[in-house]
Amino acid sequence: MENITERSWHMYSNTRTEPMQLKALKALKRRLPPNHLSLNKIEEKISILESGFHGENFFDQFTSHVLSPRCLNLRNITLPAFSETIQIDSLFITPSFILICEIKNIKGNLHFDKKGGSLSRVVNGKEEYFSCPVTQVERHKEGIEVLLKNLNVKIPVIEMVVFTNSQVKFTVRSDEQSIYNQITRIESVTRKMRELKLLYRVQVLDQKGVKELWTKIMNKSLTPYWKDVRSPYSIEENELIRGVLCIKCDKGTVLNYGKWCCQSCGHSNKENFLESVTDYFLLIKDSCSIKDLRNFLDIDSSRKALEWMYKFNFQSKEGSRPSVFFSPMYVKKT
């Protein structure tokens, strides 16, 4: 039976959630007519982001017990660094070192050119270019080292790029062979982590120190600012399907006996309203007036719209007339 100490240790965990861009693009797809010209491009981008998210979850499952016990993990966190932000897929805090992992779920023959700052891939004879993930994770390491210096914590920081797709092959420039120390396939990541435990034996942090550092870094994590996902596809607001849509089939609903009932599949749920308000915040902007919300959801009454917004405890601007509500998903710009 797990004791109280172990139970409290496992409480230090944050859940990996879908990237905001993925959520927004799914909402955009849901709100477009089936014959829209941009739909194929949006679906392709959704597929890429879903593949990446799947790879991150696979990584979590694969590594969940490797550095335990006495190791804490921060997943998918955004931190301030260099007057900008850095987004880290996975950060492990151990008593002896910190490990930053950049997770990639791509396949093909990959060629690294760190000096040129690029990664090229050949799949089915077609060559594509990406930003170099090694350069990216090194920048994350620099950001974490600055953060640790400000927190007056001295502990080694190691970076690693992990490829979760089994259909991947690496080649590296002859003068950049050291990159092999920074990249690995998912099959080898557990071995590399165990090697790090053997290499870094000096305990810098005790159990309390690991927890305190996890909390301090977590407290510095940022909620993202709202970003316009429609403009890259030149989609205007008036092209979006209006109304409270069914969470089961994406068809229109009507309010009936306190629930939003689908006119197509018959599904009846209060959550249909919440999902549709979320669509507004993802696709239009991070705040809304009742007039804007009524227009987007095609609701005929301000009183009715207000009643439903208060049902779900959306935060409103004090003293605003008419009422203005804020999205809980984003930081409000000041």
pLDDT digits (tens, 9 = 90+) for 184-240: 999 999 899 889 999 999 999 999 999 999 999 999 998 877 899 999 999 999 999
Q: Which residues of 20-36 are buried (b: 16+ CB within 10 A; e: fewer)?
A: bebbbbbbbbbbbeeeb
The pLDDT-based confidence of 113 (bands split at 50, 70, 90) is: confident
pLDDT for res 2: 37
pLDDT of 299 strictly over 90: yes
pLDDT of 295 strictly over 70: yes
Our separate counts of H helices and E strands in the chain read 9, 14
User: Is 28:42 a contact under the CB 8 Å cutoff?
Assistant: yes
pLDDT for res 321: 62
* pTM given for the model: 0.86
Render pLDDT for 177-192 as a digit per residue (tens, 0 to 9).
888 999 999 999 989 9
**Which secondary structure element, helix H or strand E, spans residue 85, and what is its range?**
strand 84-93
pLDDT for res 333: 44
Q: Write down the mean pLDDT value for the chain.
A: 88
Overall size of the chain counted in residues: 334
Task: Look at phi and psi of residue 251 and say left if phi exceeds 0, alpha if psi is from -120 to 50, else beta.
Answer: beta
Cis peptide before 322 (omega within 30 of 0): yes
- Mean pLDDT value across residues 90-117: 91
The pLDDT-based confidence of 64 (bands split at 50, 70, 90) is: confident
Pick the residue with more confidence: 104 or 69? 104
pLDDT for res 320: 57
Task: Look at phi and psi of residue 76 and say left if phi exceeds 0, alpha if psi is from -120 to 50, else beta.
Answer: left
User: Is 51:168 a contact under the CB 8 Å cutoff?
Assistant: no
